[in-house]
Amino acid sequence: MAQQASAGRRCLRAFVSGFFVAVPVTVTVLDRLAYVARVEGASMQPFLNPDATSEGDVVLLNRWSVRKHEVQRGDIVSVMSPRNPQQKIIKRVIGLEGDFIRTLGYKKRYLRVPDGHLWIEGDHRGHSLDSNTFGPVSLGLLHGRASHIIWPPHRWQRIRAHLPPNRAPLYTDDEEG
């Protein structure tokens, strides 16, 4: 009987010590490397949430790639909403800092994306609160880059950067000679 109690205590001790190692490691991974998020709403249709009756796509958001603001035009990113810091929104990067873009209803028809900012838009025009509503978004609000759709299983795929038709910047800093 004493042996069983001793074995039980050893097992409990191993579990507790493993728990106190696993929790900080998991929190660090989620904070530094990646996390998952459910995409809600219609703003990214048809690419994300193409079936309005489903619960929404779940995407893997890569935090590591955005730590040094390594994003490109056409990436889908998660940013903290400029209107509500408690909310994260998922949109497509249309313009990088220095790009000249044509807006879709912003107060200026043409705009140079300021240094340290991005121009982001939802794919479903007219159903998205995005840069056309609140302007360029600070790189400091960048939270993650969507790399894969991981749910539902029939939608599993890697997400590649691409710009919707007619949304390429008019001029980019890349074009300087």
Q: Which residues are catalytic?
A: 43, 91
Q: What whole-number distance in Å separates Cα of residue 74 and Cα of residue 161? A: 4
Phi and psi, residue 21, nearest 5°: -90, -45
Torsion of CA 82, 87, 88, 92, to 10 degrees: -50
Q: What whole-number distance in Å separates Cα of residue 131 and Cα of residue 54? A: 27
Residue 113, both tokens = 């994306």
Q: What whole-number distance in Å separates Cα of residue 148 and Cα of residue 151? A: 9
Q: Measure CA 82 to chain center.
A: 14
Phi and psi, residue 61, nearest 5°: -105, 120
Answer whether the bond into residue 152 is a cis peptide, omega within 30°: yes
Q: Which helix (H) or strand (E) holds 164?
A: none
